[in-house]
Amino acid sequence: MAKKIAFVASEEPIARAALTTLAAAFGSVAEPEADVIVALGGDGFMLHTLHRTQSLDIPVYGMNRGTVGFLMNEYGVDDLMERLNAAEEEVINPLSMKAADRNGNIFQGLAINEVSLLRAGPQAAQLRITVDGRERLDLLVCDGALVATPAGSTAYNYSAHGPILPIGSDVLAITAVAAFRPRRWRGALIPKTAKVRIDVLNAEKRPVMAEGDGKAVRDVLWVEVRSEPAIAHRLLFDPGHGLEERLLREQFS
């Protein structure tokens, strides 16, 4: 079955060349008219595309013209229509982030992978973690902390020695970055429905920045994070190469 495709590409030359080739072979329509969006680039471009098109309710099929390409499929031209027809859909929900800075400004945003707090000065951050209104950790001395989704658990979360979460699991991961106190705290798994609040202690002396999918807020006082079930990102993968399989492979590599 022929599909109407909207091809989009990052600014990298290899991605732009792929866009030219594929658009010539299959044609390209405007995104609102498409049955599927084919994103050409790397994981960063895929995240950008998902955020930008979240109101369209159109599935996105990524083709790797970047580096890692964890969220992407292999690049190919000849059998693209067959691959799109056979592709399997996985739905993921982003995180909602609300943050306040020292000037009293409130910032809100969405993050597909994780929301992270990172020290922005020479001294370690001092954080307090509350889950659903109940204080769970009164003092975490660290380089930072993050809340990760299953889809983002192999990204920064995994680099910080956090757990890989199966796609479809109803949990989020809270992971410390280079924790100094408590020394043995390795993070926590919480229900997907929970709301996490992280307060920055001694914020003037120990400044902290918050970041979600590349968007940063400096000099934060507190950050609230929760899953956003009202927003669903639809990703397409070749059979046998979906996120669940990739997450399993990561754990045995």
Quote the CA–CA distance of 21 and 42 in Å, as a whole number: 18
Q: What domains are defined for the chain?
A: 5-92+232-251 (3.40.50.10330), 95-227 (2.60.200.30)
The per-residue pLDDT string of the chain (253 residues; one tens digit each, 9 = 90 and over) reads 678 999 999 999 999 999 999 999 999 999 999 999 999 999 999 999 999 999 999 999 999 998 877 889 999 998 999 999 999 998 999 999 999 999 999 999 999 999 999 999 999 999 999 999 999 999 999 999 999 999 888 888 989 999 988 877 899 999 999 999 998 888 999 999 999 999 999 999 999 999 998 889 999 999 999 999 999 999 999 987 767 777 777 777 6
Quote the CA–CA distance of 236 and 61 in Å, as a whole number: 5
- 114 strand-pairing partners: 148
Write out the E strands in the chain: 5-9, 36-41, 60-64, 88-92, 95-101, 106-111, 114-119, 125-131, 134-142, 144-148, 171-177, 188-191, 195-201, 208-212, 215-217, 220-227, 233-237
43 is catalytic: yes
Tokens of residue 136, six digits: 């769970």
Q: Among 35, 43, 78, 79, which one carries the catalytic annotation?
A: 43
